[in-house]
Amino acid sequence: MKTITIHVSEPVYEEFRQYARKADRKASELIREAMEMYRQQHMQRQTSLRNRHPASVGGPIRPLTGEDDILGDMLDDARD
């Protein structure tokens, strides 16, 4: 593990220390954990759609019939 020096404001560091005390952990553990979360969320490339989960957008507004023109509805143009 690499040792680094960082500069943070006193209030931020004190908040980490207080939370660490309550959680019975070290402030350095929390900071390492926060850095890892940042790395995963902002720095790692997520180029594959296989890593994504589908999002629910709810159900249909109304049931489809055989006469519905879905393409027209998606393109928002009138095809009468």
Contact 79, 72 (CB under 8 A): yes
Domains recognised in the chain with CATH numbers:
1-45 (1.10.1220)
The CA distances from residue 34 to 10, 11, 41, in Å, are 17, 17, 11
Does the pLDDT of residue 67 top 60, yes or no? Answer: yes
Output the six-digit token pair for 13.
Answer: 């560091």
Does the pLDDT of residue 78 top 70, yes or no? Answer: no
Confidence band, pLDDT 50/70/90 cuts, at residue 21: very high
Mean pLDDT of the chain: 84
Output the six-digit token pair for 18.
Answer: 């207080």
DSSP code at position 18 = H
Please tell me which residue, 7 or 48, carries the higher pLDDT value.
7
Q: What local confidence, expressed as pLDDT, does residue 69 receive?
A: 76
Does the pLDDT of residue 80 top 60, yes or no? Answer: no
